[in-house]
């Protein structure tokens, strides 16, 4: 115990890993006297012996199901633990740089005063509901309804009017707990994970003490410097990717991959360095300003030092187009974010942002012209352009599309990279509304394309939501996700809204 105290006193940072034992020690027991006090009637009628097993009981009606769960949630989520274990733990780390990683779902850390930004609940939260399907990646606070359920239930049943249903598809809601593969990882969950990954306290502190590049340690990246005319350029290789290649193909293939990449990139390094060397000269660089889309919550910490606009959970970020490098059969566009420091070195202020974003949007449209495809009805949404009809007449006056003849329109760029930004090109959303004679539903399948649906078309909203969820979970890497929401554009209000 004395060694632990000394280690804690001398530590700059503390990572707390907590499981069910911590809450049990605080008095949140699921059996015995506490169970009898709150669930005696359920025990007699259904034979349930503890709170844990009661959560899996196959109640005949939703009214009974929510009578059980509302009591369970109330005493384990909205009431403080009987003993001050969490309070005592906070006293030990309050002056430290701490972070909590926990599988507990009872919210006791926050009830004791731990900062929300320092918590990651990996397995869910008793205080959240989700669609039981689920048809979309969103959760809903339940406190107000739970308190009413507890107050108004009679004979182990809640009123039918209080039974929660999904606002999108109408199916019953369920608990946001990781019981199976239907668990919804919503914005808050990903935001918390991002804080944990970006802060990465153990590696961050090692970097500080050993005076090593923290980005290399924190993100596990192999950095290689390429010498070129005008200076040196760094190339990064994610170690996880290299290890996967090693396990699949062996060390020789990894060597060939790294060597081939360096040869290809070195060919364009001199030109790219020329651009980077002019990065503080606004007049020299302004024609290279472009915009790219990122998910705000996946990149929140990085974006704190960048110039961006936010629409819902989408960040429209200001970048500099450094150049294009041919790598094997692919043309890679290299970009770098415009930081606040660079922005201020240009002599720009907050008042200049509108003008710069308009300039960057025009540049993006010129450098990356849009392409639009018609996707026949019943055709599965995917960016396989061989099976789609390209539209060349969007600018032609009087051109229209029968919205009942298509599933949707697929919008990207000629390069098929950074294609989702095309929906924000000047006048694009209004023109698509005219062509389809309808408002728009937008499904951002990733950073490279967006699917445009007429609001009164043949495809149901719940199907679009499910399609978006599947693409984010099965097809997109984390950095490729633009949003976890559907968006609707109103031509009358000229407004884009998350739904």
| Per-residue pLDDT, 132 | 94
Is pLDDT larger for residue 256 or for residue 79? 79
Is pLDDT larger for residue 242 or for residue 66? 66
| Per-residue pLDDT, 277 | 67
Q: Is the pLDDT of residue 150 over 50?
A: yes
Residue 107 — very low, low, confident or very high, per pLDDT cuts 50/70/90?
very high
β partners of residue 88: none
Helices (H), 81-233: 85-93, 108-111, 143-152, 187-199, 201-210, 214-219
Q: What average pLDDT does the segment 190-194 reach?
A: 81
Q: How far is residue 386's CA from residue 393's CA, in Å, rounded to a whole number? A: 19
**Secondary structure class of 11 (helix, strand, coil):** coil
Residue 280 — very low, low, confident or very high, per pLDDT cuts 50/70/90?
confident
Q: Specify which of 233-242, 266-275, 468-477 reaches the highest per-range mean pLDDT.
A: 468-477
Residue 495 — very low, low, confident or very high, per pLDDT cuts 50/70/90?
very high
Q: How far is residue 202's CA from residue 43's CA, in Å, rounded to a whole number? A: 46
CA 325 to chain centre: 29
Query: What b/e sequence results for 272-282 when a residue is b if at least 16 CB atoms lie within 10 Å of its CB, and e otherwise?
Result: bbbbbeebeeb
Q: Is the pLDDT of residue 227 over 50?
A: yes
Kindly write down the DSSP assignment for every residue of 400-438, as one continuous string.
---GGGEEEEEEEETTSSSGGGGGGSTTHHHHHHHHHTS
Q: What average pLDDT does the segment 476-485 reach?
A: 85
| Per-residue pLDDT, 335 | 78
| Per-residue pLDDT, 274 | 55
| Per-residue pLDDT, 203 | 47
Residue 328 — very low, low, confident or very high, per pLDDT cuts 50/70/90?
very low
Q: Is the pLDDT of residue 421 over 50?
A: yes
Is pLDDT larger for residue 35 or for residue 239? 35
Number of H helices, E strands in the chain: 19, 19
**Which 8-state DSSP code applies to residue 223?**
E
Q: How far is residue 376's CA from residue 388's CA, in Å, rounded to a whole number? A: 7
SS (H, E, C) 336-398: EECEHHHHHHCCCCHHHHHHHHHHHHHHHHHHCCEEEEEEECCCCCCCCHHHCEECCCCCCCC
Contacts of 111 (CB under 8 A, 6+ apart): 80, 81, 86
**Secondary structure class of 266 (helix, strand, coil):** helix
| Per-residue pLDDT, 223 | 54
Q: Is the pLDDT of residue 480 over 90?
A: no
**Secondary structure class of 455 (helix, strand, coil):** coil
Lowest mean pLDDT among 233-242, 340-349, 388-397: 233-242
Average pLDDT in the chain: 84
- Angle between helical axes of 251-276 and 239-249 (0-180°, round to 10): 150
Residue 454 in tokens: 């007429």
Q: Is the pLDDT of residue 322 over 50?
A: yes
**Which 8-state DSSP code applies to residue 117?**
G
Residue 307 — very low, low, confident or very high, per pLDDT cuts 50/70/90?
very high
Is pLDDT larger for residue 239 or for residue 283? 283
| Per-residue pLDDT, 208 | 47
Lowest mean pLDDT among 41-50, 146-155, 314-323, 377-386: 377-386
Q: Is the pLDDT of residue 381 over 60?
A: no
Lowest mean pLDDT among 257-261, 358-362, 475-479: 257-261
| Per-residue pLDDT, 345 | 92
| Per-residue pLDDT, 377 | 47
Helices (H), 220-298: 239-249, 251-276, 282-285
Lowest mean pLDDT among 165-179, 404-418, 423-437: 404-418
Is pLDDT larger for residue 169 or for residue 379? 169
Q: Is the pLDDT of residue 268 over 80?
A: no
Q: Is the pLDDT of residue 396 over 90?
A: no
Is 386 buried (19+), middle (13-18) or exposed (0-12) by CB count in 10 A? exposed
The model's pTM is 0.54
Q: Specify which of 204-218, 249-263, 426-440 reaches the highest per-range mean pLDDT.
A: 426-440
| Per-residue pLDDT, 319 | 93
Check if the beta carbon of residue 325 is closer than 8 Å to that of residue 268: yes
| Per-residue pLDDT, 490 | 94
């Amino acid at each position: 115990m004395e060694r632990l105290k000394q280690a804690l006193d001398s530590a700059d940072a503390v990572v707390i890993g907590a499981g069910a034992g911590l809450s049990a020690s605080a008095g949140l027991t699921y059996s015995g006297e506490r169970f009898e006090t709150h669930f005696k009637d359920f025990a007699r009628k259904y034979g349930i012996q503890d709170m844990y097993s009661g959560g899996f009981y196959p109640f005949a009606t939703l009214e009974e199901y929510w009578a059980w769960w509302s009591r369970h949630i109330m005493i384990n989520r909205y009431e403080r633990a009987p003993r001050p274990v969490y309070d005592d733990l906070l006293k030990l780390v309050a002056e430290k740089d701490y972070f909590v990683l926990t599988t507990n779902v009872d919210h006791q850390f926050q009830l004791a005063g731990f900062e929300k930004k320092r918590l990651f609940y990996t397995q869910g939260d008793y205080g959240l509901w989700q669609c039981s399907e689920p048809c979309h990646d969103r959760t809903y606070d339940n406190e107000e309804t739970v308190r009413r359920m507890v107050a108004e239930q009679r004979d182990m049943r809640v009123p039918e009017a209080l039974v929660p249903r999904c606002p999108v598809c109408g199916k019953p809601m369920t608990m946001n707990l990781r019981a199976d593969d239907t668990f919804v990882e919503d914005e808050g969950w990903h935001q918390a994970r991002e804080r944990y990954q970006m802060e990465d306290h153990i590696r961050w502190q090692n970097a500080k003490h050993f005076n090593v590049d923290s980005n290399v340690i924190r993100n596990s990246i192999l950095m290689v410097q390429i010498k070129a005319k005008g200076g040196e350029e760094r190339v990064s290789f994610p170690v996880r990717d290299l290890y996967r290649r090693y396990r699949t193909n062996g060390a020789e293939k990894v060597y060939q991959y790294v060597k081939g990449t360096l040869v290809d990139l070195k060919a364009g390094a001199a030109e790219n360095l020329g651009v980077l060397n002019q990065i503080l000269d606004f007049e020299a660089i302004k024609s290279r300003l472009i915009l790219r889309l990122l998910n705000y919550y996946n990149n929140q910490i990085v974006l704190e030092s960048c110039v961006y606009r936010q629409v819902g959970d989408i960040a429209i970020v200001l970048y500099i187009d450094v150049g294009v490098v041919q790598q094997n059969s692919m043309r890679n566009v290299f970009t770098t974010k415009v930081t606040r420091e660079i922005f201020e070195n240009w002599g720009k202020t907050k008042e200049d942002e509108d003008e710069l974003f308009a300039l960057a949007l025009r540049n993006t449209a010129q450098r990356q012209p849009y392409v639009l495809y018609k996707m026949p009805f019943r055709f599965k949404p995917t960016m396989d352009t061989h099976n789609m009809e390209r539209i060349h007449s969007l600018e032609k006056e009087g051109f229209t599309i029968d919205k009942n003849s298509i599933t949707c329109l697929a919008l990207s760029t000629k390069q098929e990279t950074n294609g989702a930004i095309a929906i924000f090109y000047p006048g694009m959303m209004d023109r698509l509304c005219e062509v389809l004679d309808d408002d728009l539903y937008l499904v951002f399948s990733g950073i490279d394309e967006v699917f445009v649906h007429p609001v009164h078309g043949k495809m149901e909203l719940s199907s679009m939501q499910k399609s978006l969820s599947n693409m984010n979970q099965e097809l997109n890497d984390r950095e490729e996700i633009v949003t976890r929401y559907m968006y609707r554009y109103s031509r009358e209000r000229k407004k884009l809204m998350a739904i």
